[in-house]
Structure 1
Amino acid sequence: MFISDDNPQISRDPETGLSRGCGFVTMRSLPEARTAMNALDGFDLDGREMLVKLSSDVVSKRRNINMTHTPPVKDHIFESPHKIYVGNIAWSVEPQELREYFSQCGTVVSTRLLTDRKGGRGRVYGFLSFASAEELEAALKLDNTHFHGRNILVRQAHEERQAR
């Protein structure tokens, strides 16, 4: 889906030739790599959960036990150019619920609900991005559908609108 043909490498045991269960893929750009990470990290592949990281985040031949207990440095949101605006969202909706609802349209690359600066409550709108233009078109068809007690507004997001 996102993985390019640019030199995929499967790590194999040199004696047996069996896969070690990991590999590397060279992507065409950092945004493309981040999109793939966000879409595929945690994906179930034949009963095994995929762990997808940037190679710069992986330290080879060293294991740091303390690293498993450290929180992420920053919560990154990776977006694709295939983005929608969703309005009239109920206050109680969590980002994961919005992601699950729109996953019927395809791969949701990112989900972002904006927060009220004063109260910390979720506002009534958010942005989602998809892996392809076709998935974005499918999402636009969910305009005026009933979600958590409200008829949501779905529009294509435009970069110039968000820059204001």
Structure 2
Amino acid sequence: RESALEQADEEEKQKLFQNKAKKKKRASCAVPKSLNSDTGPTVKQGEKKKVDVETVNRRTVFVGNLPVNCTLQELKSLFKEYGKIKSIRFRSLVQLFKQYSSFSCSRHKVHPSAKFVNAYVVFKEECDAIKALKLNGTEIASGFHIRVDIASKSSSHDKKRSVFVGNLSYDIRDDALREHFSVCGGVVGVRIVRDRKTTLGKGFGYVLFDNMDAVHLALKLNETVLMGRKIRVQRCGEKGKVPQKSHNQSRAPKDRVDTTLKNKRASNESFVGEKANPLKKRTKPKRLKNSSQK
């Protein structure tokens, strides 16, 4: 019986050892697979996605200042002569009802204060998107000059031909700003920075001209009134300068203030000191009575 029990114990030990060995093999096989299949491809997939998004953006044009009632068909007929269009989607559309989850249902549900909408037109070829830039500044409806630009982040604007305009009215339209600066020269584009949901302006924008001479004339419109506000015009990238004090200005007032403060501090300290340490009244020592009087 003892030998049988010992044999059973040995068999259990062998089984446990075999199970441990199998687990080690599985773990060793699984680690390289996870490294090769998970981390490697995910990094590559992330890089691929970035590249794919950038290539799509180069084929995409942003179309701004469109009328609210503009349809997909009208936009397609406007851009189809420049190349094959892959897709069109509208921006600045707000879903007013939660039950409308799809884009097609909420197509005509825009914010009540929205006066215009924006859109993206994706072409099949990048060269076709560049051709479509010719439509920039075209008046497609009364008071609606569209802004057409490449959606790619790499596309840069010429700051030397642009001016920054501040203190604008929040409900100003692109055409009002364009008309105000048209006296300076040819306006290539106008961009007012707006809130995505309400499409209301944030109080500043940019105007791009076709030459640098127009910029010099535009700077003269600084502090002119537009829609009841004195606008601020300056070159792009130029920060507001703080007025510097003249070198001839004497610093006597500053020194005078310092001396008065010192005097005040001294007087306060002395007052506190006298109050904190009051003088004690002297008390007369009691005289001892003579023994003869007793």
Given the two structures, how large is their TM-score scaled by the length of structure 2?
0.30
Q: How far apart, in 1, do the equivalents of 2:198 and 2:83 lie? A: 38
Q: How far apart, in 2, do the equivalents of 1:77 and 1:96 lie? A: 17
State the 1:130 CA deviation.
0.7
Q: Which has the higher contact order (CA 8 A, sep 6+)?
A: 1
How many percent of aligned residue pairs carry the same amino acid? 31
Q: Which of residues 195, 199, 210 is equivalent to 1:116?
A: 195
State the 1:123 CA deviation.
1.1
1:126 partner SS: strand
Q: Which of residues 205, 214, 219 is equivalent to 1:126?
A: 205
State the 1:157 CA deviation.
0.3
Instruction: Kindly report which structure 2 residues correspond to 1:30-45, keeping only aligned pairs within 5 A, or say none.
Output: none
Matched, 1:153 2:232: yes
Return closer, same or farther for 1:93/1:143 CA change in 2, 3 Å cut-off.
Answer: same
**What is the letter of the counterpart of residue 184 of structure 2?**
C
Matched, 1:76 2:148: yes
Contact conserved, 1:80 with 1:109, CA < 8 A, in 2?
Answer: no
Q: Which of residues 199, 212, 217 is equivalent to 1:138?
A: 217
Q: How far apart, in 1, do the equivalents of 2:170 and 2:194 lie? A: 10
Return closer, same or farther for 1:92/1:119 CA change in 2, 3 Å cut-off.
Answer: closer
Given the two structures, how large is their TM-score scaled by the length of structure 1?
0.51
1:139 partner SS: helix
More helix by percentage = 2
State the 1:116 CA deviation.
2.0
State the 1:58 CA deviation.
5.2
Paired positions, count: 102
Q: How far apart, in 2, do the equivalents of 1:73 and 1:120 lie? A: 16
Contact conserved, 2:171 with 2:200, CA < 8 A, in 1?
Answer: no
Give CA-to-partner distance per residue, 1:65-115, whole Å, 9 cap, x none: xxxxxx974463374441100000011210111011100000111100001
Q: How far apart, in 2, do the equivalents of 1:94 and 1:155 lie? A: 20
Return closer, same or farther for 1:80/1:109 CA change in 2, 3 Å cut-off.
Answer: farther
Report what 1:33 is aligned to: none
More strand by percentage = 1
Q: Which of residues 184, 205, 209 is equivalent to 1:105?
A: 184
**What is the letter of the counterpart of residue 103 of structure 1?**
S
Q: Gaps (5+ residues) in structure 2?
A: 1-78, 85-89, 91-118, 122-146, 151-156, 240-294
- Tell which structure's C-alpha radius of gyration is larger: 2
Contact conserved, 1:80 with 1:131, CA < 8 A, in 2?
Answer: no
Contact conserved, 2:194 with 2:201, CA < 8 A, in 1?
Answer: yes
Q: How far apart, in 2, do the equivalents of 1:116 and 1:92 lie? A: 11
Contact conserved, 1:84 with 1:136, CA < 8 A, in 2?
Answer: yes
Contact conserved, 1:114 with 1:126, CA < 8 A, in 2?
Answer: yes
Report what 2:246 is aligned to: none
Moved over 6 A (4+): none
Q: Gaps (5+ residues) in structure 1?
A: 1-52, 60-70
**RMSD of equivalent CA atoms:** 3.6
**What is the letter of the counterpart of residue 154 of structure 1?**
V
